[in-house]
Amino acid sequence: MANVVVVGSQWGDEGKGKIVDWLSVRADVVARFQGGHNAGHTLVINGDVYKLSLLPSGIVRPGKLSVIGNGVVVDPWALLREIETLRGQGVTISPDNLKIAENATLILPLHQELDSAREASNAGVKIGTTKRGIGPAYEDKVGRRALRVADLADPGSLMGKIENLLGHHNAIRRGLSLPEFEAQPLFDKLTEVAPHITPYAAPVWRLLDQARRAGQRILFEGAQGTLLDIDHGTYPYVTSSNTIAGQAAIGTGIGPSALNHVLGITKAYTTRVGEGPFPTEQDNEDGQRLGERGHEFGTVTGRKRRCGWFDAVLVRQVVRTAGINGIALTKLDVLDGFDEIKICVGYKLDGQDIDYLPVNAAEQARIEPIYETLEGWSETSYGARSWADLPANAVRYVRHIEELIGAPVTMLSTSPERDDTILVKDPFED
């Protein structure tokens, strides 16, 4: 039985929440391995809507172990609010079904303030962050001054670690004309929240190793999208973590040999939130129609998403960098009713044809997409549960995408409802 990694193959918002929920029924363990509460997953189960940011999608399924790995940065207060919200919806959450890596980095109020101050500054590049402190927390992690979940269980050494952290942050705050952060109030906040977080703390690497050896199925849940990867995305307009499938091993402490199948969640068109390059963006009637039909607003921020045609060049590139074995194509129904549908099949850069997105931001800005135009369909694909239920031109569209990206469509989602899914190949049976 395979362990499965789920990643987004575009700029996020591909519909990972529904697919992970669909797969979690078949899994024993669901693990988050990067990002923080800047992620946003919406699950629709029997008409009930669950909005998740930090918790793994498996948390809404009884009998599943949900894991927040060491690669995730954890805002303890945001986590507790999310837990209480879901409990209010009838979801059972306890240390029996939720574990947090002891070595996961904490997001603190000073991280959020720094994130907001930088984004509001007139100097530098505006990334379009969620201002939740994700980037500054990762900076402290690699700077070896971060506070971690395990520190909450050791109040005796906590003050010294806070003072060490503030030695760095207060210098930055002075440069931004912000008041210095005091150690005692932060110490008090952390010792107050500690008893609510530490019962969930565990050596996650060990738990996952035990689950693997026991033959349990593990589902590794990615957040954001591969094009937002700190190394392989559209830098600097990226998130602050690695979002490709290889991070599943690093961000949970399990060896890469345990990653058997990589499923790339792929929207049937393209969207992006925030700043950065977007070769197939349609700032016109087509883009507006895609946004309205697709309800393209961020789960976490509520920000309107930029919309455009499917970019086969980018997805093909992601198939390679993320090691994707197959894709789950989502939101095909949004294309219902278009007379013509375009797919980007290549780029022109300064008059030359290229088949990848260059790293240089100036070159990215000069990219001209090369389109193929396909005939649309007037029939509905909404709610289809078999290939026979799909319009003929919709099937042709899907098959052409497979050819262009070099990966098969192994799952096809036709509505937000979990059961409106066409399964070609079960990733767990790889």
336 is catalytic: no
What stretches of 104-203 show up as alpha helix (H) in DSSP? 109-120, 134-142, 155-175, 183-197
For residues 10 and 280, the answer to whether their CB atoms sit within 8 Å is no
DSSP conformation class of 376: -
Sign of CA dihedral 70, 71, 73, 77: negative
Q: ∠ CA 298-87-188 to the nearest 5 degrees?
A: 85
Bridge-based pairing state of the strands 218-221 and 4-8: parallel
DSSP three-state, residue 269: coil
From 37, 41, 232, 261, active-site residue: 41
Instruction: Please tell me the distance from the alpha carbon of residue 298 to that of residue 309, in angstroms, as a whole number.
Output: 19
From 13, 21, 75, 151, active-site residue: 13
Amino acid at residue number 90: G
Instruction: Please tell me the distance from the alpha carbon of residue 207 to that of residue 254, in angstroms, as a whole number.
Output: 10
111 is catalytic: no
Enclosing H/E stretch for 371: strand 368-375
Q: Which residues are catalytic?
A: 13, 41
